[in-house]
Structure 1
Amino acid sequence: ALKDAGAGIEDVISTRVLVATTRQKDLGAAWEVVRDAFGDHDVPSTLMGVTVLGYHDQLVEIEAVAAVLDA
């Protein structure tokens, strides 16, 4: 989605990660994957455990907000 919008990971200004779990260990595991993907590009982020997500068997949802200059 970022590429299609002419953006990259460095253009992300915030993230929200929702994990369908009540276990803190699962939250940590999901967070590690997201942080690894972003590398040194550290942005304000929210990590939340939720009871259910929108699709059957969906375990994780990641929302990333990016800002790019309109050329």
Structure 2
Amino acid sequence: MSAVRLVRSATLTPDVDYAYAATVSGPLRAVWTAGACPLDEKGATVAAGDVAGQAEQVMRNLRTALADAGASLADIVKTTVYVASPRQEDLVAAWDVVRAHMGDHDAPSTLLGVAALGYDDQLVEVEAVAVVAD
């Protein structure tokens, strides 16, 4: 049983594909991830120029970081998705990949277009907060 409960609003629009809030309960352990980046096992940025391709690698890396900390995507209470682009369609392309990986667990998230990210050719980064029952 997950310690995370996603909260929907009866007042805010239901036409969004994420929960508006999340709560946690019980004896818990919090996990904060660094921003997952589109890097391969050698530290090279993958899929230069391809927002969706980078988002795929980012989500694989996020899964790994969470697993190494004893958590999974289903334990996430909040994500922040960064896309180095002023174009809304690029933000949506990254978001679509993130949502596909999250499945039915539509945790609260913030999606941002930013001027630049830290690695050469990097377009996407996702950070997460997860909570697991101890």
Determine helix, strand or coil for the equivalent of 1:67. Answer: strand
Across the two proteins, how many residue pairs are aligned to each other?
Answer: 70
Q: CA shift at 1:69, angstroms?
A: 2.6
Q: What is the RMSD of the two structures over their aligned residues, measured on CA atoms?
A: 0.8
Please say if 1:25 is aligned against 2:25: no
Which is richer in strand?
Answer: 1
Unaligned runs of 5+ in 2: 1-64
Tell me the residue number matched to 2:121: 57
- Local SS of the residue matching 2:97: helix
The 4+ residue runs of structure 1 with deviation greater than 3 A are none
Q: In the alignment, what sits opposite 2:73?
A: 9
AA paired with 1:65? V
Q: Distance in 1 between matches of 2:103 and 2:133?
A: 23
Q: Given the two structures, how large is their TM-score scaled by the length of structure 2?
A: 0.51
Output the CA distance in 1 between the equivalents of 2:119 and 2:70. Answer: 28
Corresponding residue for residue 133 of structure 2: 69
| Rg larger for | 2
TM-score normalised by L of structure 1:
0.93
Q: 1:10 and 1:61 mapped to 2: Cα distance?
A: 19
Greater relative contact order (Cα 8 A, min sep 6): structure 1 or 2?
1
Inter-partner Cα distance in structure 1 for 2:72 and 2:90: 27
Which has the higher mean CA deviation after the structures are superposed, 61-70 or 8-17? 61-70
How far apart, CA to CA, are the structure 2 residues paired with 1:9 and 1:18?
A: 18
Question: Percent identity among equivalent residues?
Answer: 64
